[in-house]
């Protein structure tokens, strides 16, 4: 079952699938691919189940963020594609194109400076729609509309791909000083 929000992006509620960062997490906006089957499309809270349990993806992200006194509770989070496409991944590109304006409005509505993009497919779509050439594991600058952001694309932290999480640990270790400077 699909849930599409891309047919009417002008009337999409700006706070739907959008967690604003608080405290130190205000400057961080994590961008996921699309709503997961059991995540916040059901619970209303990013990375949590309806029973209030932190999902494994959130746990893996927290392992990366803890060193910087951050976690998924205080960082901003949204999805590039607002539609729930389930296993029909070929819909990501067309839904993403239609949802891009929603993401940009959400980005403009907060003081985020540091974007963390989750996953290869999310990065491909982000690059295509923003006309960037960002790479996984590299901190780069990107201009979206009239604002510059520092961006770190990483592998998706889902436990479905434990290799991705291992690579993310290596990325954060290698870029530790750069990440710390961005987050000061």
pLDDT tens, position by position, 88-142 = 888 899 999 999 999 999 999 999 999 999 999 999 999 999 999 999 999 999 9
Q: For the domain that residue 17 is a member of, what is the CATH number?
A: 3.40.470.10
- Does residue 23 belong to any structural domain of this protein? yes
CA distance 32 to 145: 20
* Number of domains making up the chain: 1
- Does residue 4 belong to any structural domain of this protein? no
Q: Strand 140-144 relative to strand 147-154: parallel, antiparallel, unpaired? A: antiparallel
Q: Look at 184 and 83; give whichever has higher pLDDT.
A: 83
pTM, whole model, 2 decimals? 0.95
């Amino acid at each position: 079952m699909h849930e599409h929000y891309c047919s009417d992006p002008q009337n999409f509620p700006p706070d739907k699938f959008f967690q604003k960062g608080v405290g130190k997490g205000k400057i961080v906006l994590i961008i996921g691919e699309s709503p997961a089957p059991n995540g916040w499309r059901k619970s209303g809270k990013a990375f949590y189940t309806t029973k209030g349990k932190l999902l494994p993806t959130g746990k893996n992200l927290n392992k990366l963020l803890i060193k910087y006194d951050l976690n998924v509770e205080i960082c901003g989070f949204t999805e590039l594609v607002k539609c729930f496409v389930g296993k029909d991944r070929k819909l990501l590109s067309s839904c993403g194109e239609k949802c891009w304006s929603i993401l940009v409005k959400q980005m403009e509505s907060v003081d985020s400076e540091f974007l963390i993009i989750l996953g290869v497919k999310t990065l491909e779509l982000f690059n295509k729609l923003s006309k960037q050439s960002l790479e996984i594991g590299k901190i780069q600058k990107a201009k979206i509309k009239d604002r510059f952001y520092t961006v770190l694309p990483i592998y998706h932290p889902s436990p479905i791909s434990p290799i991705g999480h291992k690579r993310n640990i290596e990325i954060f270790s290698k870029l530790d000083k750069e990440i710390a400077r961005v987050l000061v």
